[in-house]
Structure 1
Amino acid sequence: MKKLLLFAFILISSYTVNAQKDKQKQVLRHVVMFGWKPGTDTAEIDKVVTAFGNLEHKIKLIKAYEWGINNSPENLNNGLTHCFTLTFSSEADRDAYLIHPDHKAFVAVLSPAPDKVTVVDYWARK
């Protein structure tokens, strides 16, 4: 009986430690997608892309940044062409990013360029 209890304790302890490690490994993704009004000047789009990319160097809460232009053949992007993904360690870091003065300055650069904006945040899973 003691061996069974010891085995059960070891299993529960192992599960708890592994669950805590998995939670620590998780990252929060902040995905932003833009679509542009027809005829939007390429220089205007490039200005937004550059300004977005500069945030990674200005706001240390951003753990990773990447972006790209849609090239899906499925035609399901609903007019959204540019996708930006930022990675954060926590919701608190993401929330601090949203109110950070450099982020607010970036948002001011957007006006009035994007026609469509979609934002999705999620905890990354494997």
Structure 2
Amino acid sequence: MAETAVVAKHLLLAKFKEDLSPAAIDELIKGYASLVSLVPSLKTFHWGKDVSVENLHQGFTHVFETTFESVEGISEYLAHPAHVEFADIFLPALEKILIIDYKPTTA
């Protein structure tokens, strides 16, 4: 079976508001992860907390990476009603956010 090439990624760096409990953050992350089963163009979801020893994170504490088969898939995801509804809950919980969409390349 041929493996489908990944051609677009959506990288979101976040710092949650200080007054958010760990349980509330966990619920938001579960909601984010659930979008994979709701949005056809969204293929994978990965997340993690900053563990850098370089202290260059600029206050960002979490990273969220979503994978799409096309750049157009990111646009479909952004407009999808499930994403719009989730963003209305997720974004107000953030103190800082940085989003980068990119096409992975190899050297």
TM-score by length of 1: 0.76
Structure (1 or 2) with the greater helix fraction: 1
Indicate how the Cα distance of structure 1 residues 41 and 125 shifts in structure 2: closer, same or farther if over 3 A, else same.
same
What CA distance in whole angstroms lies between the structure 2 residues aligned with 1:108 and 1:64?
21
User: In the comparison of the two structures, how many residue pairs are matched?
Assistant: 103
Q: Match of 1:64, SS?
A: strand
Divergent runs of 4+, >3 A: none
User: Match for residue 64 of structure 1?
Assistant: 44
Return the index of the structure with the highest Cα Rg.
1
User: Match for residue 86 of structure 2?
Assistant: 106
- The 5 Å alignment of 1:18-97 reads 25-97=5-77
Is contact 1:36–1:79 with CA below 8 Å preserved after alignment? no
What CA distance in whole angstroms lies between the structure 1 residues aligned with 2:42 and 2:18?
31
By relative contact order (CA 8 Å, sep 6+), the higher-ranking structure is 2
TM-score by length of 2: 0.88
What CA distance in whole angstroms lies between the structure 2 residues aligned with 1:72 and 1:48?
23
* Contiguous gaps of at least 5 residues in structure 2: none
Quick one: percent identity of the two aligned structures?
31
Is contact 2:45–2:67 with CA below 8 Å preserved after alignment? yes
Is contact 1:29–1:85 with CA below 8 Å preserved after alignment? yes
Structure (1 or 2) with the greater strand fraction: 2
Moved more, 34-43 or 111-120: 34-43
